Amino acid sequence: MTLLFNAAYEMGLRPAWIVPDSLFLIFVNGREEYVHFGRSPSNSDVGVSLAKNKYLTRMILKRNGERNIPFAHPMFLDDALAFLVAHRKIVAKPLRGSGAHDIHIITTTAQLRRLPVREYILEKYIAGREMRYLVLNGAVIAVHESEYGGSVAEDRPLRRISYPRGSWDHRLISDSLRIANMFGLRFTAIDYLTDIAGHSYVLEVNTMPGLKWFHAPTLGPVVDVAYLFLKAFYLEGSKAKSYH
C-alpha cells in the first residue's frame, strides 16, 4: 500500500490515509476515490472469491482444460493416503492460505496423519522453476522468476529475477490472458511451475500480487506497477465513470 500511496503522491493525486497502510483516498477530477489494494475496482467479486480458494481454482482450471498440477481435496484420511501413495511426494496447502504460510512437503504417512486433511488441498510435488506473469487490463506487463531455494519455510531465501520483455514465453502470455479472462480478473498474477522437461503447470492465480518485487527486483528491469495500476483503474478508468 505504501508503494501505491507514494505513486499517487508523485502523480499529484493528493493521497491521504484513512486507515494507515490499508485505505487511502485520492482526488480524481475533483472527486474522492478510495484505494484499497485488497478490494480494488479491478476484479469481479466472484473471480476474487474463486481464486482465493485453491480447490475452486483447481476445479475451474480443470474444467477449462488448463495445465493443472495433479490435486485432491480429500474428505477422509484414507483418500489423502491414497493420493500420497500415488504421487510419493506431495504438498499440502491450506485452502485459503497465502504466501508460504502453513505449507507442508509430505513424504510419509505419519506427516499426513498429523494434518486435518479437509482443511487442505493436496498437490503432487513437482520440482521446477517458478515464474510469475503479471496481467493488467488484458496485457502482461511484467514477468519474473521466484527463486526460493529448497525450502517452503516463511523465512526461506528469496530472489526475484525480472525478465526483459523479449524473453517472455509467448505461450505463457497467452495462457495468462486466457486465465485472467476466465476468472474475470483485470489485475492478477498467474504463477507457473516449469519442470526440468520444460512442461509448465499453473501453480496459482493471485488476485492481490505484491508490488515490492516489481519495483525492486533482485536482478533485471524495474516495472512501476503502482503507477500503472493507479493510471489504469483511477485515471483512465475514470473516463468510464459518470461525473456529470
β-strands 159-162, 139-147 pairing: antiparallel
**Same-domain status, 209 and 160:** yes
pLDDT of residue 36: 85
Cα gap 33→232, rounded to integer Å: 14
79 and 118 share one domain:
yes
Rg of the chain over Cα atoms, rounded to whole angstroms, equals 19
| Parent domain of 99 | 71-124
In a domain, 108, yes or no: yes
DSSP label at residue 138: T
240 assigned to some structural domain: no
Segments in the chain below pLDDT 50: 153-154, 239-244
Residues 140 and 161 in one domain: yes
The answer to whether the CB of 17 falls within 8 A of the CB of 24 is yes
- Helix segments in 97-169, DSSP class H: 109-113
Q: 16 and 215 in contact (C-beta within 8 Å)? A: no
Output the domain CATH number for residue 104. 3.30.1490
Are 202 and 157 found together in one domain?
A: yes
Residue 117 sits at φ, ψ, to 5 deg, of -60, -25
CB 140 within 8 A of CB 176: yes
193: phi > 0 → left, psi -120 to 50 → alpha, else beta; which? beta
51: cell is 481464486
Q: What is the pLDDT of residue 239?
A: 45
Residues 93 and 154 in one domain: no
Whether residues 26 and 99 share a domain: the answer is no
163 domain-assigned: yes
- How many other C-beta atoms can be found within 10 angstroms of the C-beta atom of residue 96? 12
- Written as nine digits, the cell of 143 is 514477468
Beta bridge partners of 219: 161
Taking residue 184's Cβ as centre, other Cβ atoms within 10 Å add up to 15
75 and 60 in one domain? Answer: no
Shared-domain flag, residues 116 and 159: no
> Does 98 map to a domain?
yes
* 198 and 212 belong to one structural domain: yes
Q: Is 220 found in the same domain as 108?
A: no
- The structural domain count of the chain equals 3
Number of residues assigned to the chain? 244
Question: pLDDT, tens digit, for every residue of 13-44?
Answer: 999 999 998 899 999 988 999 998 776 667 88
| Residue 243 lies inside a defined structural domain of this protein | no
Please check whether residues 50 and 78 belong to one and the same domain: no
For residue 26, the model assigns a pLDDT of 95
pLDDT of residue 150: 52
